Amino acid sequence: FAVVAGRALLADERGLGKSVQAIAATQLWRRHFGVQRVLVVCAPAQRAGWQRAWQRIAGSAVADETQVVDGGHHQRQAQWSAPAGVRIVAPEALHTDGAHLAHWAPDLVLIDEPQQLNLHADDWALLQPIAHALVLCGAPLADLPALTDTLVAWLDVQRLGPLAALRELQAASEAGRALGDADIERLTAALSRLMLQRQRDDVADQLPPVVHSERLLPLAPGQRAAHDQHAAAARRLLAGWQ
* 129 to 5, 19, 43, 101, 125: CA distances (angstroms): 16, 23, 22, 12, 8
Contact indicator for 129, 152 with CB cutoff of 8 Å: no
pLDDT digits (tens, 9 = 90+) for 143-175: 888 888 888 888 887 766 777 777 777 778 888
Q: Lowest-pLDDT range, 56-65, 99-108, 132-141, 233-242?
A: 56-65
pLDDT digits (tens, 9 = 90+) for 15-48: 888 999 999 999 999 999 999 999 999 999 999 9
Half-sphere exposure of 73 (CA within 13 A, CB side): 3
CA–CA separation, 138 and 15 (whole Å): 9
* 122 to 125, 132, 154, 210: CA distances (angstroms): 5, 18, 12, 43
Model confidence pTM above 0.75: yes
19-24's contacts with Cβ under 8 Å and 24+ in sequence apart are 19/49, 19/50, 19/53, 19/112, 19/136, 20/53, 20/57, 22/110, 22/112, 22/134, 22/136, 23/53, 23/54, 23/57, 23/58, 24/57
pLDDT digits (tens, 9 = 90+) for 81-134: 888 899 999 999 998 998 999 999 999 999 999 999 999 888 898 898 888 999
Contact indicator for 11, 21 with CB cutoff of 8 Å: no
